[in-house]
A and B are shown apart, each in its own frame.
Chain A
Amino acid sequence: MINLLKNYKKYSDEKLVPLVVKGNERAFNELYSRYEKKMYRFFYRMLNRDIERANDLLQDLFIKVIEKGDRFDTDRKFSTWLYAVAGNLCKNEYRRVERLTNNQEKMITDVRPGIDNEMDFYLPNAIDRSLFTSRLTDALEELEDIHRTCFILRYQEELSIKEISEVMECPEGTVKSRLYYALRKLSDKLQVFRPEALKKLNYEKQTG
């Protein structure tokens, strides 16, 4: 009866984990709702947008939380710990599965058409934006794992430099240098999408 009256929405992640380990369903529902989308998106990006593998790893991740959550140090931040476990699952997956290198056809068919926003300045029309998205995804896949992980954690998951350094167990300076390297690599590969280049492309199209 007392269990039903408790409002788990007010509980911190660190307080929910011990309850989940004991099999408390309501605590698990709350914790899962907070992290299911984030972690699924993380796996989706890290695994070359493989929906099935992303679902599998999401399930494996939360099974680890349920069965081995008692090993979690409640003095640490739960999200940092969760991303670290997810990163290790991705590394194991890379070792196990052969990485796909030619995904352009798959990427183009999966990409949704663009929406009007400030990107119109850089990519005037929807087709260019969808092409850009697919090229960006390819370029991300071509990065090394550590650079890609840093990039996704920073710009998709919006973790701070300090949190990323805890997840990846490296100094903050190392995180910054990896982010810088990733950005440079991506911008080199996506040079064709610069406005100057696009203007040139449009001119060439018009003149035949």
Chain B
Amino acid sequence: MLTKSYAQLTVAESLLLEGKFSPARYDATRKTLLAATDMFARDLPLPSSKVKTNLLKVLAAQKEKSTNSNWWSTLLNYPVPAWQPALGVSLIVLYFFVPWTGTQNLSEQNVLALQETDTAYEKTRFGYLAASVPVSTVPIRRKNVGPISSDLTQKHTILDTLQEVAQTIQRTFSPATDPRFVPAMQLSNSTFAANDTAGVRPQTMEQYWIDPVHIMAVQDQSRRLVSF
């Protein structure tokens, strides 16, 4: 309406207006509108400069008020991009659950050692203790699995700690008659030496530990390895 008179309208536009605006009405309305916009464009009052002066005083008061608020509330409400906490959580998860080189726990190391062995095992019992001990039947060794390095045997990971804690708790709350927790017998070095086919020297006996699946009793202080 601002740009076209009634005579300048297209056929479609005229049809659209038919019934709503007569040509005379359309032109009258258009002229009113043009006059109004012209008036708005010419009549440009300016605000008083005192308004800004007063507003700056209010702003100064607001600034002092915001400075005095608790710095710790500002710190707590500080916006942190979502990727930062997500990255932190991911790093924690990776550290504890991904096997890094050199920090592999004893259980996994032992499984690997078992897989490389050429020694056959049989289940046997020593008093209350049941264990898998190697059988002296395999004459040829394909691999010579040496003793586990001391740093690995002595390394105590978090998983081992958790295992010990769980076992302690079980022992505390299980009945005394539970055969799983009868004190273990001390195994003699000769028991292992007689059945050793992988060439593990007797002085490494202390590094042996019994596969927990077959353990009937728990020994508190030491771990014995049955792996070759």
Contact = CB atoms under 8 A, between A and B. Distances in A.
Interface residues of A, number: 48
B176 to A, nearest CB: 67
A193 B40 contact: no
B59 A187 contact: no
A21 B39 contact: no
Contact of A37 (B25, B36, B46, B65): B46
Given A36-B47, A66-B62, A187-B29, A25 B56 contact: yes
Interface string B55-91: 1101110111111000000000000000000000000
B123 interface: no
Interface string B162-206: 000000000000000000000000000000000000000000000
Interface in A153-208: 155-156, 183-184, 186-187, 190-191, 193-195
B58 A122 contact: no
A184 B52 contact: no
A23 B46 CA distance: 25
Contact of A22 (B27, B42, B50, B63): B63
B51 A58 contact: yes
Interface string A85-126: 000000000000000000000000000101101110011000
Contacts of A59: 51, 54-55
A136 interface: yes
Contacts of B36: 136, 151, 155, 186
B18 interface: no
Given A55-B47, A184-B29, A28 B59 contact: yes
A164 B12 CA distance: 27
A40 interface: yes
Contacts of B112: none
A66 B58 contact: yes
B33 A67 contact: no
Contact of B66 (A21, A40, A54, A114): A21
Interface in A35-66: 36-37, 40-41, 44-45, 49, 51, 54-55, 58-59, 62-63, 66
Interface string B142-158: 00000000000000000
Contact of A187 (B25, B52, B67): B25
B35 A119 contact: yes
Contacts of B59: 20, 23, 25, 28, 66
A122 B31 CA distance: 8
A70 B53 CA distance: 22
Nearest to B30: A187
A72 interface: no
A80 interface: no
Contact of B62 (A51, A67, A194): A67
A81 interface: no
B51 A136 contact: no
A32 interface: yes
Interface of B: 25, 27-29, 31-40, 42-48, 50-52, 54-56, 58-60, 62-67
Given A58-B51, A155-B37, A156-B40, 15 more contacts: A23-B62, A28-B55, A28-B59, A32-B52, A37-B44, A59-B51, A62-B55, A67-B62, A119-B38, A132-B35, A155-B36, A156-B37, A183-B32, A190-B35, A191-B28
